[in-house]
Chains A and B, each alone.
Chain A
């Protein structure tokens, strides 16, 4: 195809599918599906409370109106919760990656509709949904497998694009809804006053500081696409900057975009993180000398 498409289109196609080790997919898969399970229980436990809310307050989003989905009630919410929890934990083992992967994607999407069809939509997990949608297409992937795969490359590239789009397009949304005044407005000042931590209380007393911060935020968000041009040390520095941004936001106003942080690991060589192997080595290490890494 790339030969037939000619050079530019071929280059785009190769960029979308540049191969990565299958071990990276195995690790990413485990992380993403474990997060789904943790999300149900730890991060957004309020979704389950919709089980008791009568259907008259259910206002399905567009996708919920297009698909023939039932109005959530106690039975649907409870069954969905337990089946999704079991499927996510099973999927985290890497077994039946297509079957379990598609199942988790479909059930989690429905779970999100149960979460967001009562009057409030969250914007912190587009990239996680993309990861859930593309992971099943890779098929089998073993932990530690160094075989590189173009299928794997496409899945991670899509997730990375969704991560960067979340930043870039949220600046775009600021200009659309807030206008250019967003830059000089009091959005940050009010956020700090409403939910600022002790670490940043002082910042509202410094004239213009939070306006400068607003300019910096937009500059950061609009320049995130350069991560695709960077290599080596600069690449990792940029990924570190993205995580540091969220660390600062959390320290300042205790807002954390956990699903987004999970999707962002698609930028990292996760195949080198082998907790099970390290634990085994540690146990063996008591009797034998440690193996060279």
Chain B
């Protein structure tokens, strides 16, 4: 730790040649170059033909879809009724299952609405003292836009329903 950390790196991003350099063996260098090129190739293939499923080599598709300004905005929510008859909207932290995850699995949940029972189970685990849920609906609200701004009008569709037995 003692010593000459005062070497100026100059304008380059590398330090000038005075400090000693530890070289790689030819073998070590070759392996590293091959590994790096293989990783780059996987990432390129993932970007060209891959999907999110190929994480971490899938395409970087954040905000990659071209939106139409006035296409309606989807707003997916979980509406529930508990044993006391109370109506509530389940939040991400109440269930541990996030809204984006609900949207990602919505086709599967439409085919198998009983999966909503698992969300009820998660809710009960996280709120052990709350009344049991007896019903959950997945409701998609379509907010109408004009010039990209909400007009206040909306329509709602119930995409899946689960009832406690």
Q: Is A57 touching B115 in the complex (CB atoms < 8 A)?
A: yes
- Among listed A35-43, A83-91, A95-103, A158-166, interface-contacting one: A158-166
> Which residues of A lie under 8 Å from residue B24 when comparing CB positions?
17, 150-151, 154
The distance from the CB of A246 to the nearest CB of chain B, in whole angstroms, is: 13
The SS class assigned to the A binding surface is helix
Q: Is A2 touching B64 in the complex (CB atoms < 8 A)?
A: no
Q: Is B32 touching A21 in the complex (CB atoms < 8 A)?
A: no
> Which residues of A lie under 8 Å from residue B28 when comparing CB positions?
151
The distance from the CB of A133 to the nearest CB of chain B, in whole angstroms, is: 9
Chain A interface, number of residues (Cβ within 8 angstroms): 84
Which residues of chain B (99-123) have a CB below 8 Å from chain A?
100-105, 108, 115, 118-119, 121-122
> Which residues of B lie under 8 Å from residue A233 when comparing CB positions?
11
B153 within 8 A of A: no
B92 within 8 A of A: yes
Query: Which listed residue (B32, B43, B65) contacts A165, Cβ 8 A?
Result: B43
A285 within 8 A of B: no
The CA of A235 and the CA of B55, in the complex, are separated in Å by 31
A220 within 8 A of B: no
Interface centre among B33, B60, B69, B96 (most CB of A within 10 A): B60
Q: Is B92 touching A130 in the complex (CB atoms < 8 A)?
A: no
Q: Is A231 touching B12 in the complex (CB atoms < 8 A)?
A: yes
Q: Is A118 touching B33 in the complex (CB atoms < 8 A)?
A: no
The CA of A181 and the CA of B67, in the complex, are separated in Å by 9
The CA of A56 and the CA of B59, in the complex, are separated in Å by 26
The distance from the CB of B90 to the nearest CB of chain A, in whole angstroms, is: 12
The distance from the CB of A154 to the nearest CB of chain B, in whole angstroms, is: 5
Taken residue by residue from 26 to 45, chain B's Cβ proximity to chain A (1 for < 8 Å, 0 otherwise) reads as 11111011001001100110
Q: Is A169 touching B60 in the complex (CB atoms < 8 A)?
A: yes
B125 within 8 A of A: yes
Which residues of chain B (9-25) have a CB below 8 Å from chain A?
9, 11-15, 19-24
Q: Is A1 touching B30 in the complex (CB atoms < 8 A)?
A: yes
Which residues of chain A (8-58) have a CB below 8 Å from chain B?
12-13, 16-23, 46, 49-54, 56-57
Chain B interface, number of residues (Cβ within 8 angstroms): 72
Which residues of chain B (40-64) have a CB below 8 Å from chain A?
40, 43-44, 47-48, 52-56, 58-64
Query: Which listed residue (A62, A150, A177) contacts B61, Cβ 8 A?
Result: A177
> Which residues of A lie under 8 Å from residue B20 when comparing CB positions?
147-148
CB nearest to A23 among chain B residues? B5
A59 within 8 A of B: yes
> Which residues of A lie under 8 Å from residue B60 when comparing CB positions?
123, 126, 166, 169-170, 172-173
Taken residue by residue from 61 to 84, chain B's Cβ proximity to chain A (1 for < 8 Å, 0 otherwise) reads as 111111111000100000000000
Q: Is B9 touching A269 in the complex (CB atoms < 8 A)?
A: yes
Q: Which residues of A contact B (CB under 8 A)?
A: 1-2, 4, 12-13, 16-23, 46, 49-54, 56-57, 59, 61-63, 112, 116, 118-121, 123-126, 129-130, 137, 142-144, 146-151, 154, 157-158, 161, 165-166, 169-170, 172-174, 176-179, 181-182, 185-187, 189-191, 193-194, 204, 231-233, 235, 267, 269, 271-272, 274, 293
